[in-house]
Amino acid sequence: MSAGRIVVSGSSGLIGSALVASLLADGTEVTRLVRRGAAPAADGSGEVEWHPGERELDPEVLAGADAVVNLNGASIGRLPWTRRYRQVLRASRIRPTRTLATAIRRLGADAPHFVSASAVGFYGDRPGERLTEGSGGGGTFLARLCAEWEHEALRAGPAARISLLRTASLLDPGAALKPLIALTRLGLSGPLGTGRQVWPWISLTDEVRAIRRVIDHEMLGPVNLTGPSPASANEIGRELAQRLRRPYLLPAPRWALRLGLGRDAADSLLLSDARVEPEALIGSGFVFAHPTARSAIAAAIAA
């Protein structure tokens, strides 16, 4: 069970909503940081208005909490990544993280555990490598953005207790599976590029359970939130097509993906090959509810 009070930013997103619901179900007090006017929440959580990037956050909002979970960030699944949207992707991550890190630093030794979002995109395109929390960053747009994102979290100071959540693509209808389901139902799915690239993945259930594990066990430093069994783009695509009883035949060549989505998005999301392993989670004794992409897809489609 998580500690007495948790502060959550980005609580209206897919992961944030699921995390808050899980915490409240166990009787944990939750304070949401919201950009609109604060009001009593229907689910029993408290709300505090904040304006990241415009004004500092009063550290007293965080004082006494056991953890602050930072989940802010515009969706990387919104395509294409135009120049303007790449700026949105950056600002929506950097500004909230910097605001929270500044407030935590001001609290000094009494600051709560800072659990800040990142992504497995940190590793970039690394075919043939085994990637753990100790591996260096990559060179794609998303890898560079994740490195900057994590750097902002570390501004909380050398004395702060900081965890960096390097989350994989969520195999959920509200996330990575959404566009794939739409294409598959239309009979338009097939290999993306070669289709042999390894895609890190995780179920929403295990994402929430893993975040709570990080909080409860105070797992500091980077933590890879990804399933334990590697799966290629073809394996994920074929499994989804089989579940929806549709064909998996129509290839999308690398050049077409880059032309349609932009090189940054295509190379960071669909064509990137990264065998990322959840070494820290497994070492902590974490047991996955969905240990394979197949079981995660089955649960997502049945939901």
Residue 298 falls inside a structural domain: no
pLDDT tier for residue 282 given thresholds of 50, 70 and 90:
very high
Residue 72 near residue 15, CB atoms below 8 Å: no
What pLDDT sits at residue 40? 64
Residue 259 falls inside a structural domain: no
Expressed as residue numbers, the domain containing 62 is 5-170+201-228+275-290
pLDDT tier for residue 77 given thresholds of 50, 70 and 90:
confident
Residue 22 in this model has a pLDDT that exceeds 70 = yes
Mean pLDDT of the chain: 94
Residue type, 254: R
Residue 264 falls inside a structural domain: no
Alpha carbon distance 275, 60 (integer Å): 41
Residue 185 falls inside a structural domain: no
Lowest mean pLDDT among 13-22, 73-82, 214-223: 73-82
Instruction: Give 155-210 pLDDT, tens digit per residue.
Output: 999 999 999 999 999 999 999 899 899 999 999 999 999 999 999 999 999 999 99
What pLDDT sits at residue 3? 54
Contacts 24+ apart (CB under 8 A), 141-144: 141/81, 141/86, 141/264, 141/265, 141/267, 141/268, 142/76, 142/264, 142/268, 142/269, 142/272, 143/268
Residue 175 falls inside a structural domain: no
CATH number assigned to the domain comprising residue 208: 3.40.50.720
Residue 108 falls inside a structural domain: yes
Can you tell me whether residue 285 is helix, strand or coil? coil
DSSP assigned state of 267:
I
Phi and psi, residue 164, nearest 5°: -115, 115
Residue 299 falls inside a structural domain: no
Residue 212 in this model has a pLDDT that exceeds 70 = yes
Q: Report how many domains make up the chain.
A: 1
Residue 156 falls inside a structural domain: yes
Residue 1 in this model has a pLDDT that exceeds 60 = no
Instruction: Give 126-142 pLDDT, tens digit per residue.
Output: 999 999 999 999 999 99
pLDDT tier for residue 38 given thresholds of 50, 70 and 90:
low
- Straight-line distance from the first to the last Cα atom of the chain, in angstroms, rounded to the nearest whole number: 25
